[in-house]
Amino acid sequence: VQLVESGGGLVQTGGSLRLSCAASGSIFSLSVMGWYRQAPGKERERVAIISSGGETFYADSVQTRFTISRDNARNTLFLHMRSLKPEDTAMYYCAGCSGYVCTGESDFRSWGQGTQVTVSS
């Protein structure tokens, strides 16, 4: 499954963005999908993940501000981001895991090319 992100851009502090991740094939095969981000000079970190059954997990830093969702019929993953902060500035990546175990980053074998999110102060 190939993944292509879109929806990034430049936004002011407090603003909102919706990221989309379109899959070339059915995302039914991806038991868990997620969003990761990497800021310059920092390691890539998990932002949010969602299982095929709709269970979600969020990083503490985005827990109350971001919402992950997936539309299996449209083979698309979304990340709704609200109350954005400068520290949210990063390249955001969509990822998918088709295995039975999807706990670590290395379990996610499908990755998009990333979409840049920049939050100005």
Range 86-102 average pLDDT: 94
Report the distance separating Cα 99 and Cα 82, nearest Å.
31
Q: What's the pLDDT tens digit per position in 24-79?
A: 877 777 889 999 999 999 999 999 999 988 999 999 999 999 999 999 888 999 99
- Give the number of other CB atoms < 10 A from CB of residue 9: 13
Q: State residue 3's pLDDT score.
A: 95
Q: How far apart are the first and last CA of the chain?
A: 37
Residue 89 or 28, more confident: 89
Q: State residue 99's pLDDT score.
A: 84
